[in-house]
A and B are shown apart, each in its own frame.
Chain A
Amino acid sequence: MATTTPSLNQTIQDVFNEPGCGKNQAKSEKERKKGCTKQLQPGGAAGGCAFDGAKIALQPITDVAHLVHGPIACEGNSWDNRGAKSSGARTYRTGFTTDMDENSIVFGGEKKLYKSIREIVEKYDPPAIFVYQTCVPAMIGDDIDAVCKAASEKFGTPCIPIQSPGFVGPKNLGNKLAGEALLRHVIGTQEPEYTTPYDINIIGEYNLAGELWQVKPLLDELGIRILSCISGDAKYKEVAWSHRAKAAMMVCSKAMINVARKMEERYDIPFFEGSFYGIEDMSDSLREIARLLVERGADAELIDRTEAVITREEARAWAAIEPYRQRLSGKKVLLITGGVKSWSVVAALQEAGMEIVGTSVKKSTREDKEKIKKIMGDDAHMYDDLTPREMYRMLRKAEADIMLSGGRSQFIALKASMPWLDINQERHAAYAGYHGMVELVQEIDRSLSNPVWQEVRRPAPWAGEEASWQDRAIGESADMPREPTAPAKAA
């Protein structure tokens, strides 16, 4: 643990200077200092704040009390809002907040925070308390580091300050700030009861809809132990002793890269970036895990066993997808997601006979884009930032039969009278691993075949010949000048 705590500003600069991020390294010194955050446009709709990012990154740690220091807005709106599943404690689902009022703002909220921590210790006795800084206490100067330090000493329960006031930046920055807090205060503070040559960390996996559990049985079968998952279905102590893992897999390429890289630096834990989405990606990930473990001293026979499991599981998955080929053949999919998912599900959809008419690469790395090209060929339609209007046009013009995206884009699909399937964090079905991909194909089939889409597509049966508002919208958008962010073919 660092003896002197760097300021929030220093931390942010540090996070921006991420050598693990290729995009960042390509920038000039000056550019890099500006950070990787696009300045938000006032008046435009935007995503979540840094606090939101920090909270969602850490909330999956199940036995910790997550205490939000701020007015009711922050926790009131974010309490238990993601489907991260737990196999043990339910503490993470309880909403703890200091619920700051006018008095706290005039006289400072530190005392209230300290008392809140005490009450959590007395009534819940969790292994740790994560204290989240939000805009208001940060602005009035509440020093949560000091309060957490004092409280930790007084009560003997680790109180971890998470410096994540919303105004410092967007959600993605918050993910990284959460990682910094773990690196500074949690990781390396406990020792596991025993270690094995087969211990791995999985970083950036949140067990949404229980996806980790679709993967874990295969690791169990191979004798690979998830020493720590950061942070899906994790216990505090597991995160605290994660520095003893032999290797790590980094799941979500942007969210926690700082954690993976710094753990490699500090504790010599090599990591690779991988994905559990898509059949071949799942196989690649298993191979990489086995390879890294063998490199670090595990018995080489692990690789053979891994290959055997991969062969079996792939055959099983392709066989399960096969029956859908006939129904899905020729159906066109528009993928609006980003990051690894932009390419990792493509193979499975192609296997089911579907055609990918486009994929967004908004959050994808250069490697991601390379992979897309490899899978989809050089004429792959990649969209850096597909505007809603363009998305709408594509769906409306039936350049796609279904859109797979996060919840925010669903209404564009509905307006364009197109089936839509949620493949981001709000979904309720798990799509990870071999079984998950079969599940995804099943879900697509169900979405495409639901009778409501006939209703959605046709106007009221008594409607006359006059143009529908949808046709008018298409007409208007054709008249407008194309926005600079309109789709560009991959170079």
Chain B
Amino acid sequence: MPQNADQVLDHFELFRGPEYKEMLAKKKAEFENPYPDEEIDRVREWAKTEEYKELNFSREALTVNPAKACQPLGAVFAAVGFEGTLPFVHGSQGCVAYYRSHFSRHFKEPTSCVSSSMTEDAAVFGGLNNMVDGLANTYNMYKPKMIAVSTTCMAEVIGDDLNAFIKTAREKESIPMDFDIPFAHTPAFVGSHITGYDNALKGVLEYFWDGKAKMAEPLTRKANTKINFVGGFDGYTVGNQREVRRIFDLLGVEYTMLCDPSDVWDTPTDGEFRMYDGGTTLEDTANAIHAKATISMQEYCTEKTLPFIAGHGQEVAAFNHPIGIEATDKFIMEVARLAGVKIPDELAKERGRLVDAVADSNAHIHGKKFAIYGDPDLCYGLAQFIMELGGEPNVVLATNGGKKWAAKMQELFDSSPFGANCQAYPGKDLWHMRSLIFTEKPDFIIGNTYGKYLERDTGVPLIRLGFPIFDRHHKHRYPVWGYQGGLNVLVTILDRIFEHMDATTNDPALTDYSYDIIR
């Protein structure tokens, strides 16, 4: 028997036993009416051709393996970045379960989030009752300092009016009149998670700055010298927020991290459950209006938020997920310029160390081709760094990137000889990517965990950089911003290159003449 009660085999081992192998082979031969192996091979090979790529790219309706998520996911990300804030998603509870599991699998931390649990009757009669009861229960059960409301498609399709609903809830005394409830409409059928982040963050700022949904007077900006920092939807937020704080402290800049989930997604195991931890205080959020300037690390995550802030009289600056030497230079110099501070030697040294590391290792990256996919800003930052290392990002794909993004990528490619044979693919999915990997033949793929299927199908090694990373642990703890972050990205890329080198030279008496100790 392959399985017995004394020693139960798990899935790793069980089906590899001869009994199962035999059974599965028999099942295939006798019942599955299989195509001949040659035919399967022929089709597999055909799927690698230009001809197939053209068919693949002429797809009009179907999306296969999208590299994006929905608006409310981004809204939840934004909400947990504020002090004591519970994200409240108005809509069906199933969606909310997705957001929570998605984040928990990436950050390996619980993500608190509630829904108004709309069901069929709410879909017919509207979700008002769910909102009223939901807010009351949330307030009483979880004692948040703030509830940030966003929506799922279900509520959006029937046109629920959040502003009116929340007002009604207050009037019905389900929550105190002065309790803070910012809100944002975040339908999944528009944009992606980065849009949701943008909308939710803007919703929070709008609420605090523009008179708390008519419950208070709008704030009047009294300019001070502080800098607001907005990270955007970022899988490395735990490491990045802390690294950016460190850099700001080194620079001697007064700052507000607007939306900082780094603590709530990295709580210590000391016996205390922290449903809320860290985050931007509500006071700081309100006072952020007075700041001198706001910096966004991800332009495409703040397309609405930044103009909103600029509209209140602040200077704003947007970056595209800056990674590497030049991008970090620009970021740090812009911060220094805005804050009117001098850049300390400490940072010059960190810069020099990154330059040193790149100089030590660039030969292994020089001339290698990389297929990159991810969110538009991350793609830009990674492509820029790859070119800085002498690599060629010959395929850069963002399912949630648009034409403007593609034009910006092209500008980047045009700025360096290493971008000569590179192309950006806006709005394409990972099945397009699969074709591109076969036809454009990159040496490595850079992407999130879902790229492992591309790695398996194409044999091109995957460098895991992005969101989500489900199958490797704790990567989110290491920053990718700042010079230190650039070093982390460099090491991540190099590690994979060397692992691949080892894996392709370790066949005893066949390839292991190159299986070397020193690389």
Contacts and interface: CB of A to CB of B under 8 A. Distances in A.
The finding on whether chains A and B are genuine partners in a shared complex, rather than unrelated, reads yes
A260 to B, nearest CB: 27
A479 B367 CA distance: 43
Interface string B323-336: 00110010011001
A143 to B, nearest CB: 33
Interface stretch (A5-13, A157-165, A372-380, A449-457): A449-457
A85 B214 CA distance: 77
B369 to A, nearest CB: 14
Nearest to A210: B513
B512 interface: yes
Contacts of A83: 516, 518
A451 B512 contact: no
B387 interface: yes
Interface in A442-491: 446-447, 449-453, 455-456, 459-463
Contacts of A453: 359
B354 to A, nearest CB: 9
A428 B498 CA distance: 13
B390 A451 contact: yes
A414 interface: yes
Contacts of A426: 518
A452 B418 CA distance: 12
A90 interface: yes
Interface string A146-165: 00000000000000000000
Interface string B363-389: 100110000000000000000000111
Given A85-B513, A210-B513, A428-B519, A452 B355 contact: yes
Interface of A is mostly: loop
A450 B512 contact: no
Interface string A199-221: 00000000000100000000000
Nearest to B325: A455
Contact of B359 (A85, A446, A456, A461): A456
B503 interface: no
Contact of A450 (B325, B366, B509): B366
Contact of B366 (A414, A446, A459, A463): A446
Place the interface of chain B in its size category. Answer: 35 or more
A451 B355 contact: no
Contacts of B366: 446, 450
Contact of A455 (B358, B387, B516): B358
A460 B343 contact: yes
Nearest to A461: B329
Contacts of B516: 83, 428
Contacts of A462: 329, 332-333, 336, 343, 348
A218 B358 CA distance: 38
A88 B416 CA distance: 45
A451 B388 CA distance: 6
A77 interface: no
A83 B516 CA distance: 7
B348 A450 contact: no
A90 B512 CA distance: 9
Contacts of A87: 513
B514 interface: yes
A383 to B, nearest CB: 24
A426 B329 CA distance: 34
B423 interface: no
B389 A451 contact: yes
B254 interface: no
B508 A414 contact: no
Contacts of A79: 517
Nearest to A447: B363
B351 interface: yes
B197 to A, nearest CB: 31
Interface residues of A, number: 27
Interface in B318-356: 325-326, 329, 332-333, 336, 343, 347-348, 351-352, 355-356
A456 B359 CA distance: 8
Contacts of A452: 355, 358-359, 362, 388-390
Interface string A415-457: 0000000000010100000000000000000110111110110
Contacts of A463: 348
A90 B390 contact: no
B518 A446 contact: no
B390 A81 contact: no
Contacts of B517: 79-81
A231 interface: no
Contacts of B333: 461-462
Nearest to B514: A85
Contacts of A134: none
Given A428-B519, A447-B363, A455-B388, A460 B329 contact: yes
A309 to B, nearest CB: 26
Nearest to B387: A451
A462 B513 CA distance: 48
Residue from A87, A88, A449, A460 having most chain B Cβ neighbours under 10 A = A460
A79 B516 CA distance: 12
B336 A455 contact: no
B388 A446 contact: no
A85 B515 CA distance: 9
Contacts of A446: 363, 366-367, 390
Contact of B390 (A80, A85, A450): A450
Contacts of B387: 451
A85 B358 CA distance: 28
A460 B343 CA distance: 10
Contacts of A337: none
A253 interface: no
B362 A456 contact: no
A86 interface: yes
A87 B512 CA distance: 9
A45 to B, nearest CB: 20
Contact of A81 (B326, B358, B418, B518): B518
Given A88-B509, A426-B518, A462-B332, 9 more contacts: A414-B356, A446-B367, A451-B416, A451-B418, A452-B359, A455-B388, A460-B351, A462-B329, A463-B348
10 tightest Cβ-Cβ pairs between the two chains A and B: A450-B390, A460-B348, A85-B513, A452-B358, A462-B343, A452-B362, A80-B517, A455-B355, A450-B362, A461-B329
30 contacts: A81-B517, A83-B516, A83-B518, A87-B513, A88-B509, A90-B509, A90-B512, A210-B513, A414-B359, A446-B363, A446-B390, A449-B390, A450-B389, A451-B387, A451-B390, A451-B418, A452-B355, A452-B362, A452-B390, A455-B325, A455-B326, A455-B358, A455-B388, A456-B355, A456-B359, A460-B329, A460-B348, A461-B329, A462-B333, A463-B348
